[in-house]
Amino acid sequence: MTRTVWDSSVGKKTVMAVSGLIMLMYLVVHMFGNLKIFFGSGDFNHYAHWLRTLGEPFLHYEWALWIIRVVLGVAVVAHATAAYQLSRRDIRARPNKYVHKKPRSSYATRTMRWGGIILGLFIVWHILDLTTGTAHPGGFQPGHPYQNVIATFSTWYGDVIYIVAMLALGLHIRHGFWSAAQTLGAGNRTRDRALKTIGDVLALVLTAGFISVPVGVMTGLVS
């Protein structure tokens, strides 16, 4: 039964919608957590430490954080796999170019695939930079995320990579939220405008919220 659902286009779109919403919920929480950097190193580092003790004493140190990471990892892999397979299926179904020009779609729609690739590469870089410290620009300090963030966004390439990725994220959310709502049956003629507005607002707020961190470091507001 599970295999039959996964093999269908509807099943893959449903997997994309559900995994996308899981990632969206995480992003909202993650953005609010990031904004604590504007309250100083003490608050930000304490917040990072709290994430590792979340659920204690019922859960051991970092267990909750690892559960979140595993769920997110599964969601990202499922989302990317479903998107790739749907894309390949779409190409096989239309091996020849359209005779008539397709109606012009929005910029977000036309860049969803490239946006997904950009975000996938960014996730790898982001983990290597601020989680493992492997790609960190010098002096990575475990347990001191505030100082690590400052170091990353004190480099021009760190700012460029992050800002470009967040702009791609905004476009992805703008289209993806409405698309997920349609797939899960939440959309109709009366709700479409509201859903598109919610998607636009989420995209704008998340993009601005995430980008505010490197901008804060660049302008000296965070130092």
Query: Mean pLDDT for each 10-residue chunk of the chain (223 residues)?
Result: 78 93 96 96 95 94 96 96 86 61 53 87 96 91 94 96 96 90 81 88 97 96 92
Dihedral angle sign, alpha carbons of residues 154, 155, 157, 158: negative
Coil, helix or strand for 69?
helix
Whether the upstream peptide bond of residue 57 has omega within 30° of 0, thus cis, is yes
Task: Look at the chain and count its residues.
Answer: 223
Question: Please, what sign has the CA dihedral across residues 108, 109, 112, 114?
Answer: negative
pLDDT value of residue 105 = 52
Q: Is the Cα dihedral 73, 76, 77, 79 positive or negative?
A: positive
In which residue are the tokens 């190193």 written? 41
Sign of CA dihedral 32, 132, 59, 144: negative
What does the pLDDT read at residue 146?
A: 96
d(CA 135, CA 160): 15
Between CA 112 and CA 175 the distance in angstroms is 8
With contact defined as beta carbons under 8 Å apart, do 222 and 162 qualify?
no
**CA–CA gap between residue 150 and residue 154 (Å, rounded):** 6
pTM of the entire structure? 0.89
